[in-house]
Structure 1
Amino acid sequence: MSTIDYKIETGTRDTDASLDAMRPAEVEHLRPLPRISVHAFCETEGMQRVMERCGQDRRMAKVSLRINSGSIAAAANMFSTVSTPNLIILETATEPRLLLEELAPLASVCDPSTKVILIGRYNDIPLYRELIRNGISEYIVAPVGMPDVMGAIAAIFVDPEAEPLGRNIAFIGAKGGCGSSTLAHNCAWGISNLFSTEVVLADLDLPFGTANINFDQDPPQGISEAVFAPERLDEVFLDRLLTKCSEHLSLLAAPSMLDRAYDFEAGAFQPILEILQRNAPVTVLDVPHLWSDWTRSVLADVDEVVITAVPDLANLRNAKNLFDVLKKIRPNDKTPHLVLNQVGMPKRPEIAPNDFCDSLEVTPVAIIPFDAVLFGNAANSGRMIAEIDKKAPVAEIFSQLAHLVTGRATTKKAKKGGLGKMLGMLARK
């Protein structure tokens, strides 16, 4: 995460609190920022809160951010003795006629490569033009929110001509055996098949992964080669590790062997995720049910998280813990999606879906009925649910889930007996 130095003092004017609220949709499209250093000088507590929010965002993971309480004069004083960072963000209430004069001491000590974003109080077009002409990178009129600041930084340091990044979607189960891997595999297959989009399914459960079995594959190489030799990782090496499962779906398989210990540091999978984002429009990550530095890091960095749970007490507790911690480590992102799986298993006591979801204060995106025959046949034959029975209600649920996690504007209307009917039946119980 970013290195943040908070120096809090009482400001004279607060930033509009409404702009400090979360606006996930406005930052979703932003690319991760490069490894840069940023110093922010804030005159108000509101602006300090905005910068703190920026520092907590996953897109700022590589940024070294320092937040200072002070004015333009404080910045000039600091940088008279130390070198300037890649970016300086300044908040000021100075009137337009005095602003350039106040900036002069700072300009005299700034490195030529240093960029400056100025946040002022006056909506003045001549002032804006004069500031840009004098080397200010951007001038924003206060009050501002986190998306405004993040967007301004991205406009300066992210190449607009760069290839778009792919979408990373992580699936994790609230408890072992709840079917998260099955959902991940069927969703990856569905995305590739429905939208003719290149998809990579990465099985991150190195000792016990099942993606190779579920797709009836036995690849000689896979994700372990990339994890244990990150210095070799490039597009060519990645292509050698991928196994083709269908026309548009490739598998980065787990070795599923116990010949070594699989203990990883927090950033172990970061190089893989970054190269997959540059080379695949969609990456589906099958994250094992465990909690460690590396799983926490993966879940913090992805675009979408899907939590799968079975309607019992242990799943409820674990799901609540997951939702709570992900809200903290992903403060500017959407709430993870919840899928209730194996609902209606005969003779098994269950928590009613409505009660389960009310306890989490989350609406499930899908409720999947228990069907031992359908899922068992698919698993034993190495095929996906839609390949076994494309007219099955569960196949329609997976289709709708594929639309949802890829950000499609509309989803297909559920057929009779699909998700809509299942929700209605459960509601009447």
Structure 2
Amino acid sequence: MTSHVAPPGSAAAPVPARASSTAPGDAERAALLAFLADDESEAAVQAGLADMMAGAQIRRGNVRTATRSLVSEPTPRILLVDISGIDDPIHALNELAAVCTPDVRVLVVGERSEVSFYRELTRELGVAEYIFKPLTRGNVASLFGPLVIPSGAKPVQRGGQVIAVCGARGGVGATTIAVNLALQLEATKGHIALLDLHLRGGTAAMMLGARVSNGLRVALEEPDRADALFLDRMAVTIQGRLRLIAAEEPFEAQIDPSPEAVSQLLELLRQRFSQIVVDLPMPPSSWERQVLAEARHSIVVFGPDLAGIRDAEATRRMMTSMSSSSQPILVLNRASMPGGLKLPLIIEGLGRRPDVVIPDLPRHLPRAANLGQSAGAGSAPLRKALAPITQEIFGVRAEAGGRSSLLRWLLAR
């Protein structure tokens, strides 16, 4: 009879291979020990659990590596193992169970996506959670995060997900990124909203050649008037299923919405749209901070200069402190522009590589903005550069062979 990876305290839990008299004390146990088979998964786990990684260890390997290691090491409180490429993952997990103490909480990542396989792992073997690859910081944070620190888990939001895009400083191209990201997301045939919260001097509508009303200001200042019908009237159709919600208020206008009004607007949008891309001013006001608090993904755009590096790190810290979601995605825009810092110096200044690098496109982007056209539609380099963000949001990757996929479309010339 094979043993099972049973839930903590279950009668079906296997007897550990080590005698209980030699079991380690709690002080010797790692809070989290992970065995991951590839760089991409390791990066996603580090980013998704960044605020929960104190006392954690990540090693290269898989479930069999974990079994060999834990024969002679203390069992961690939480064990994350990779079953990718394992011919008989169920047997491998049972072997792992035999060398662990019964109170360990096991998290698993792998390549199989069948619902039946997920149920077998979580219901029959007692695995706490399973995620199939490719991992993203978002699904790691939302699915593994509450299991790593259950008491600090944030209730799961229903409906669409909010994606906050902001520039570390003015003029770095955050609105360009937000606009073209929304257009790429629309290509997935989802219902997409682009919300421009630059109420005075915003340029999203101008970039898209759209005319907007004062509906956004009304929704923020008089939330009692905002309902699904009002939202339909103020949202401007751009193309397909992409809608723009924006304002063009005069510079002298005094606008002071409440965080509750912003939260209500986001809730309306989540009920109608699958993704809501928010072009957010930086630094945010008290009511704009509500967007960061509710964002599933946050994106920081910065330029290739010293001020950009400094402000990108400051913005990243601020956004991390406001949100319990995954770590912000750092986007270097206009890489290799004349006079800008080279990538090695930027990496040295940040202490890490930017998550996304967008090349300098000095002729194409301004021309598209002036004509009210999509820059990405005619620029394969921009689509290719934005593809990792889309992959992070959807958790998809290019398919092998001739099958079509989202990323194959994004990278097509």
8 Å Cα contact 2:196-2:202 kept in structure 1: yes
Aligned to 2:359: 369
8 Å Cα contact 2:193-2:275 kept in structure 1: yes
Q: How does 1:25-424 map to 2 (within 5 A)?
A: 147-148=146-147, 164-193=158-187, 195-330=188-323, 332-346=324-338, 348=339, 350-387=340-377, 389-390=378-379, 392-410=380-398, 412=407
d(CA) in 1 for partners of 2:33 and 2:388? 33
Provide the secondary structure at the position in 2 that maps to 1:293: coil
Query: Which structure 2 segments of 5+ residues have no match?
Result: 1-24, 35-42, 53-101, 104-125, 127-143, 399-405
Compute the displacement of 1:404 (Å): 2.7
Amino acid in the other structure paired with 1:406? F
* Larger Rg, first or second structure (1 or 2): 1
Output one character per residue of 1:10-69: Cα deviation in whole Å (capped at 9) or x when no partner.
Answer: xx9889761699x997xx9xxxxxxxxxxxxxxxxxxxxx9xxxxxxxxxxxxxxxxxxx
8 Å Cα contact 1:173-1:309 kept in structure 2: yes
Amino acid in the other structure paired with 1:184? A
Change (3 A) 1:17 1:240: farther
Output one character per residue of 1:69-119: Cα deviation in whole Å (capped at 9) or x when no partner.
Answer: xxxxxxxxxxxxxxxxxxxxxxxxxxxxxxxxxxxxxxxxxxxxxxxxxxx
Provide the secondary structure at the position in 1 that maps to 2:407: coil
Amino acid in the other structure paired with 2:312? A
Aligned to 2:31: 18
8 Å Cα contact 1:222-1:255 kept in structure 2: no
Provide the secondary structure at the position in 2 that maps to 1:260: coil
8 Å Cα contact 1:203-1:223 kept in structure 2: no
Provide the secondary structure at the position in 1 that maps to 2:184: helix
Amino acid in the other structure paired with 1:172? C
Q: RMSD of the TM alignment (CA)?
A: 4.0
Change (3 A) 1:186 1:256: farther
Compute the displacement of 1:207 (Å): 0.6
Amino acid in the other structure paired with 1:179? G
8 Å Cα contact 2:182-2:242 kept in structure 1: yes
Change (3 A) 1:182 1:13: same
d(CA) in 2 for partners of 1:264 and 1:200? 20
d(CA) in 1 for partners of 2:388 and 2:229? 34
Change (3 A) 1:252 1:417: closer
Output one character per residue of 1:228-266: Cα deviation in whole Å (capped at 9) or x when no partner.
Answer: 111122212211111100011000012242251123444
Q: TM-score, normalised by structure 1?
A: 0.58
8 Å Cα contact 2:214-2:249 kept in structure 1: no
Change (3 A) 1:321 1:255: same
d(CA) in 2 for partners of 1:283 and 1:171? 10
Change (3 A) 1:375 1:228: same
Output one character per residue of 1:363-416: Cα deviation in whole Å (capped at 9) or x when no partner.
Answer: 3232222222101110011011133x25x3223223443333333355736999
Compute the displacement of 1:335 (Å): 1.6
Change (3 A) 1:328 1:417: same
Query: Which structure 1 segments of 5+ residues have no match?
Result: 1-11, 29-49, 51-121, 124-139, 419-429
Compute the displacement of 1:192 (Å): 0.2
Provide the secondary structure at the position in 2 that maps to 1:333: coil
Compute the displacement of 1:311 (Å): 1.0
d(CA) in 1 for partners of 2:212 and 2:410? 37
d(CA) in 2 for partners of 1:378 and 1:266? 34
8 Å Cα contact 1:224-1:255 kept in structure 2: no
Change (3 A) 1:204 1:289: same
d(CA) in 2 for partners of 1:386 and 1:16? 50
Change (3 A) 1:386 1:327: closer
d(CA) in 2 for partners of 1:150 and 1:254? 40
Q: TM-score, normalised by structure 2?
A: 0.60
Compute the displacement of 1:358 (Å): 3.3
Change (3 A) 1:208 1:317: same
Compute the displacement of 1:153 (Å): 11
Amino acid in the other structure paired with 1:371? L
8 Å Cα contact 1:338-1:362 kept in structure 2: no
Compute the displacement of 1:338 (Å): 1.1
8 Å Cα contact 1:341-1:367 kept in structure 2: yes
